[in-house]
């Protein structure tokens, strides 16, 4: 099983690892997630050699969720530096070259640059829900669902709003596309990320030219600089060459000067694509669930389908095969907040000595299995931001309960986990109504480091067997490293076959079947959850974010 690291004490393993490091045949994957920037280095067979990370957080800037570009490079450099340090410590050799690399990041959003390459407005992320008017108009124009977070919705909303930067736009891209551009000089994007910028034609594996013409006609009287196609990155599919690490890029990634330029770059991808790769879910009727700050499920389709349901996004695998995606803005971040609070309380009372946060998660999450199946009347809403599927424009976390509810730690943490999965379940119900299904979903994300809890409750929420990917806790950056490895070792083999034979050949599935009592309990919870959505959606009006002003005060 390549996804799991062999015993580092094995002499033969260490010899092969050192050989790959010294010969520069390893591959590097970098993923910029919502709360962590992770880098993973893999050997020539895909086995992880070392990993590193750097934490960061989004902020509200002028009403938009954003990250500063300086923070991008601080985090990327720290993440890489931690990988290089781990390599030298564990294998006794410096990291000076790699065969290939790839960049992945949270998808969609809005990064607009002028001709000189200067950012015109602060980065607007997938988390923004300020593009409702644009998304609705474009959905009607194109005849396919255009989610609020897609780049074209952000761009058109800025046109509608008459933002003064629009005439100066020369290039639009995603976060992964931006980092790749700076490292290689190439303005390209993997198809799985590109589809979150503008709709893709599944046959040509490029932007839909009919929709391009329709958009240009729609904006012909607006002060746009040129046609939309000339502003977008060139679309590539997995296995294609996307440039090389330049001298400038090498110094940007590794300011120490040790890393040599010249590594082959694979197409930059979104975190949805790396999740599919990390869970071996790129064939039709396979699917996966990624749980992080956001939560989303992706089911690979047998053929393209036009679905107008706003809960379903038309996206693609890194090879360009059609995918139906249910994306929820709010995932496990609020669960993490509460667990960290409980850890502080335990420490304050001297009841718990924290050796690692993994121990804390294991202790607290396990309590959820001892709660009432329906959470005993406790209901939680983990909406830190707006949630389009639920019809919530602006989010505030809310916890409530029936007056006679059983308020225990077990019921509380079970309600938090069910809340994490509730909106996804609503979207998956809509997907089933479209006739789309899958045999098993594979999950990944840090929440699954504690085995047997989140996996079991997710299976109950979705009514579907859930497998746990071998790379469950670190999947994204490892999946990106595998795509980088595929670019140099794929040899024309289709991506699904390459993953099945080269990467996952010895993997044994760890699948949990949904328990009927858990399913019934979740459905009872979901009924209460839906009933409370109207006032949960109004919470933002009653509780302002810090530094917001109340005009009625």
How many Cβ atoms from other residues are within 10 Å of residue 354's Cβ?
11
Helix axes 333-348, 357-365, angle to 10 degrees: 100
**What does the pLDDT read at residue 60?**
77
**What does the pLDDT read at residue 436?**
83
Do residues 364 and 413 touch, judged by C-beta distance below 8 A?
yes
The H helix count followed by the E strand count for the chain is 18, 23
**What does the pLDDT read at residue 553?**
36
Bridge-partner residues for 171, per DSSP?
113
Q: Is the dihedral of CA 136, 142, 144, 147 positive or negative?
A: negative
Torsion of CA 270, 274, 276, 280, to 10 degrees: 160
**What does the pLDDT read at residue 505?**
77
**What does the pLDDT read at residue 353?**
67
- Of 290, 293, 280, give the one whose Cα is nearest residue 325: 290
**What does the pLDDT read at residue 6?**
54
Helix axes 132-142, 209-218, angle to 10 degrees: 130
C-alpha to C-alpha distance for 24 and 250, rounded to whole angstroms: 14
Give the 3-state DSSP-derived string for 434-479, with helices as H, strands as E and coil as C. Answer: CCCCCCCEEEECHHHHCCCCHHHHHHHHHCCCEEECCCCCCHHHHH
- Of 138, 159, 162, 166, give the one whose Cα is nearest residue 150: 138
**What does the pLDDT read at residue 432?**
87
Please provide the size of the chain in residues: 553
**What does the pLDDT read at residue 552?**
38
- pLDDT by residue, tens only, the chain of 553 residues: 454 555 554 558 788 889 999 999 999 999 998 888 999 999 998 989 999 999 888 887 888 888 899 999 999 999 999 999 999 999 999 999 999 999 999 988 999 999 999 999 999 988 787 899 999 999 999 998 899 989 999 999 999 999 999 999 999 999 999 999 999 999 999 999 999 999 999 899 999 999 999 999 999 999 999 999 999 999 999 999 999 999 999 999 999 999 999 999 999 999 889 989 988 889 988 898 988 888 889 899 988 877 777 788 888 999 999 999 898 889 998 999 999 898 888 878 776 666 778 888 888 999 999 999 999 999 999 998 889 889 898 889 999 999 999 899 999 999 999 999 999 999 999 888 888 877 788 888 778 888 889 999 999 999 999 988 665 555 689 999 999 999 999 999 999 999 989 888 766 678 899 999 999 999 999 999 999 999 888 888 888 887 665 443 3
42, 322, 492 from 233: Cα distances, Å: 28, 20, 24
Residue whose tokens read 């000189």:
116
pTM above 0.85, yes or no: no
Which residues, other chains included, contact 290 with Cβ-Cβ below 8 Å and sequence gap of 6+? 271, 272, 275, 296, 297, 298, 443, 444, 445, 475, 476
DSSP helix/strand/coil, 228: helix
Residue 165 has which token pair? 């930067």
Q: Is 132 exposed, middle or buried (0-12, 13-18, 19+ CB in 10 A)?
A: middle
Which helix (H) or strand (E) segment holds residue 180: the answer is helix 175-184
How many Cβ atoms from other residues are within 10 Å of residue 163's Cβ?
15
Residue 228 has which token pair? 């939309």
Buried b (16+ CB within 10 A) or exposed e, 165-200: ebeebbbbbbbbbbbbbbbbebbbbbbbbbbbbbbb
Q: What angle do CA 266, 285, 206 make, to 5 degrees?
A: 40
Give the 3-state DSSP-derived string for 485-539, with helices as H, strands as E and coil as C. Answer: HHHHHCCCCCHHHHHHHHHCCCCCCCEECCCHHHHHHHHHHHHHHHHCHHHHHCH
């Amino acid at each position: 099983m390549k996804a799991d690291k062999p015993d580092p004490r094995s002499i033969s393993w260490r010899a092969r690892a050192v050989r790959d490091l010294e010969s520069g045949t390893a591959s590097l994957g970098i993923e910029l997630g919502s709360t962590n920037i992770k880098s993973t280095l893999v050997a020539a067979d895909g086995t992880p050699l070392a990993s590193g990370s750097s934490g960061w957080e989004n902020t509200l800037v002028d009403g938009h969720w954003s990250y500063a570009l300086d923070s991008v490079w601080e985090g990327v450099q720290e993440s890489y530096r931690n990988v290089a340090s781990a390599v030298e410590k564990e294998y006794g050799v410096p990291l000076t070259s790699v065969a290939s690399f790839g960049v992945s990041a949270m998808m969609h959003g809005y990064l607009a640059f002028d001709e000189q390459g200067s950012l015109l407005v602060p980065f607007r992320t997938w988390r923004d829900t300020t593009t409702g008017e644009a998304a609705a108009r474009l959905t009607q124009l194109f005849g396919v669902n255009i989610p609020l977070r897609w780049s074209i919705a952000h761009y058109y909303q800025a046109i509608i709003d008459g933002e003064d930067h629009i005439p100066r736009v020369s290039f639009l891209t995603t976060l992964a596309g931006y980092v790749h551009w700076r490292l290689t000089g190439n303005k390209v994007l993997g198809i799985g990320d590109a589809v979150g910028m503008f709709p893709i034609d599944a046959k040509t594996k490029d932007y839909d030219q009919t929709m391009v013409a329709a958009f240009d006609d729609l904006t012909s009287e607006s002060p746009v600089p040129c046609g939309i196609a000339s502003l977008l990155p060139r679309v590539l599919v997995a296995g294609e060459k996307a440039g090389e690490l330049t001298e400038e890029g090498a110094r940007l990634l590794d300011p120490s000067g040790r890393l040599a330029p010249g590594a082959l770059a694979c197409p930059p991808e979104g975190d949805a694509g790396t999740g599919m790769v990390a869970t071996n879910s790129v064939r039709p009727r396979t699917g996966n669930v990624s749980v992080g700050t956001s939560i989303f499920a992706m089911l690979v389709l047998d053929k393209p389908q036009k679905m107008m349901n706003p809960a379903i996004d038309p996206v693609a695998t890194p090879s360009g095969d059609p995918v139906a995606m249910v994306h929820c803005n709010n995932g496990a971040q609020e669960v993490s907040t509460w667990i960290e609070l409980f850890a502080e309380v335990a420490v304050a009372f001297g009841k718990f000595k924290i050796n690692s946060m993994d121990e804390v998660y294991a202790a607290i999450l396990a309590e959820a299995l001892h709660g009432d199946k329906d959470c005993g009347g406790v209901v939680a809403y983990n909406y830190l931001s707006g949630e389009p599927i639920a019809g919530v424009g602006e989010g505030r976390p809310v916890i409530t309960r029936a007056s006679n509810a059983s308020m225990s730690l077990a019921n509380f943490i079970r309600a938090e986990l069910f809340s994490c999965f509730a909106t996804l379940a609503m979207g998956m119900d809509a997907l089933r109504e479209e006739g789309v299904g899958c045999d098993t979903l594979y999950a990944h994300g840090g929440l699954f480091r504690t085995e047997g809890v989140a996996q079991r409750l997710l299976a109950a929420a979705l009514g579907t067997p859930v497998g746990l990917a071998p790379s469950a806790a670190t999947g994204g950056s490892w999946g990106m490293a595998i795509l980088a490895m595929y670019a140099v070792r794929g040899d024309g083999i289709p991506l699904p076959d390459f993953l099945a034979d080269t990467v996952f050949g010895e993997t044994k599935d760890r699948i949990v079947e949904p328990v009927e009592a858990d399913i019934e309990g979740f459905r009872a919870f979901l009924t209460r959850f839906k009933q409370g959505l109207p006032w949960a959606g109004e919470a933002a009006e009653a509780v302002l974010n810090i530094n917001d002003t109340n005009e009625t005060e």
